[in-house]
Structure formats: structure tokens, C-alpha cells
Amino acid sequence: MNIFRTKDYETIAKLNKTVQDLHVELFPESFTPYHYESIRDFYKGIVDDQRHIFLLVEQDTLPVGYVWMTIRESGDTPFKRAAKSLYIHQISVDETVSNQGIGTKLIDYIEQMAKEISATKIELDYWVDNTIARTFYQKRGFVIYREVVHKEFS
């Protein structure tokens, strides 16, 4: 297995299908069905922005997973101290290689990366119905420190 930074937005867009399909399955009223060209063009538009980090996971030279992260920095304000974090937007490992420790190795890699850039935390969110994500992150020491709620109108 090999984990490395990439700007290969086309491969990331292909691997995104699993993530997008899950989002549509859980919340069809909020998410649009997977459309490769649209997602590819979105990633193409941000891949060169220094704040965005894309990781690709290969096994036997085949892409089997990816991570999309953003470096978040904020200065001191009267309300909060300065902070730097890595925010994980998306993380995905192909089902054909799940339960082989790839997700754990990805988190280990991200933790090392966070230390190298002097980030003090790794942040992410997941949909409340995504019990697989909840269990995975809890096992790796992530804790809930903020809850987001919403109210819908018609």
C-alpha cells in the first residue's frame, strides 16, 4: 500500500463515487446523484489551492482510496485563540479492500502530516446516520466536541 499527495483530480473524482452515492442514499433530498464530469471539474478548480490537500491510496498500483483535506487557520480574536487544524472533507476506501487497515493507516498518515504543519487538531464531520464512520472515528480517538443542528422549512 502506498499513500501520497496528489493533484490527480480525475482519479479523485472517480473514487468520489462511493462517497457521493452514500450521501445520496442517506439524504436524497440534499445531495445530487454522482456525476463524474461535474465532480472532476470541481476538484480541478481547487486542486492547486495550497490550502487543499489530496491524498491517494494505491494498492498494487491501483487507486483504492483518497482523502480531501483543508488546512484551516485562524488568528487570535477577542473570542478565540489562534488555531490551525486539518479538516477532512472526505475520506474513502474502496469496499473491495475494506477491513484491511487502510483507513487506520490513512488516519496515522494524516496525524503525522498534522504534526509536520504544526496543526493542533484534526477535524471532520459525518452524517449522523453514517454509523460506519462514527464507529471508525471513535475507535481512532476522535471525540464529539460540537453538534450541528438544523430545522427545515417547506
Is the distance from CB of 7 to CB of 110 less than 8 angstroms? Answer: no
Q: Is the dihedral of CA 121, 89, 65, 9 positive or negative?
A: negative
Q: What is the pLDDT of residue 129?
A: 81
Q: What is the pLDDT of residue 114?
A: 96
Is the distance from CB of 68 to CB of 52 less than 8 angstroms? Answer: yes
Q: What is the pLDDT of residue 154?
A: 79
Please list, in sequence order, all residues whose beta carbon lies within 8 angstroms of the beta carbon of residue 44, skipping any fewer than 6 positions away: 9
**Domains of the chain, first to last:** 2-139 (3.40.630.30)
Q: What is the pLDDT of residue 99?
A: 84
Burial class (CB in 10 A: 0-12, 13-18, 19+), 1: middle
pTM: 0.92
Q: What is the pLDDT of residue 76?
A: 95
E strand or H helix at 102? helix 102-116
Give the Cα separation of 50 and 46 in Å (integer).
Answer: 9
User: E strands of 94-139, at which residues?
Assistant: 121-124
Is the distance from CB of 18 to CB of 92 less than 8 angstroms? Answer: yes
Q: What is the pLDDT of residue 73?
A: 95
Q: What is the pLDDT of residue 100?
A: 87
pLDDT tens-digit profile, the chain (154 residues)? 999 999 999 999 999 999 999 899 988 998 999 999 999 999 999 999 999 999 999 999 999 999 999 999 999 999 999 999 999 999 999 988 888 899 999 999 999 999 999 999 999 998 888 888 899 999 999 999 988 898 988 7
Is the distance from CB of 114 to CB of 72 less than 8 angstroms? Answer: no
Give the Cα separation of 32 and 52 in Å (integer).
Answer: 23
